[in-house]
Amino acid sequence: MRVILVGAEVILFYWRINNAKEWRPTSASFGSDVDFVFFPEQWREHIVDTFLKLNLSTGAFDITWHNDDLATEPVYLEVSPVYEPNPKIELKGKPYASYKKKFSPFNEYYEKYVEVVFEIKFKQIPNSLKVNS
């Protein structure tokens, strides 16, 4: 699961799901599904508290759970102070990667990408001032 935070706020989250029988990277470019719907609320406070300890204004976590069991402690695989968000889009039965590969001024992916980047940046400004004061 990728979780993007600004301060104590979860801005965006999504699961990267490998549907293949063998291991492969979960990047959408490798054909993984992306799920923007389910957030494990029982872990929200833990995730936010862990992020706040890092004293970053914004960042992204890659998180997994042992055997995909949400009753186990989250395992933080990576923290990224610089990241590329995957904006939430209506998949309409298409693989997420197909939205990213098609370059067009009318591509919903690019419109949503710009929106989410600006949302993150606008929320980051006051949080940056708090961190640096």
pLDDT at 74 > cutoff 80: yes
Task: Give the pLDDT confidence of 105-133 residue by residue, as tens digits.
Answer: 667 788 888 899 999 999 988 766 665 55
- The tens digit of pLDDT for each residue in 60-72 reads 999 999 988 999 9
Provide the residue range defining the domain that includes 72.
2-132
Domain count, the chain: 1
* CATH at residue 87: 3.30.470.20
pTM metric for this prediction: 0.82
Judged on CB neighbours under 10 Å (0-12, 13-18, 19+), 103 is exposed
d(CA 54, CA 57): 9
2, 86 contact by CB (below 8 A):
yes
Are 16 and 27 in contact, with CB atoms under 8 Å apart? yes
Q: In the chain, which residue ranges form alpha helices assigned H by DSSP? A: 44-52, 96-101, 108-132
Q: Would you tell me how many other CB atoms lie within 10 Å of the CB of residue 125?
A: 10
Q: Edge-to-edge, what's the strand order for the sheet holding 9-17?
A: 33-35, 9-17, 2-6, 58-65, 74-80
Residue with tokens 């001032």: 129
Cβ atoms of 1 and 52 within 8 Å: the answer is: no
pLDDT digits (tens, 9 = 90+) for 38-67: 999 999 999 999 999 999 989 999 999 998
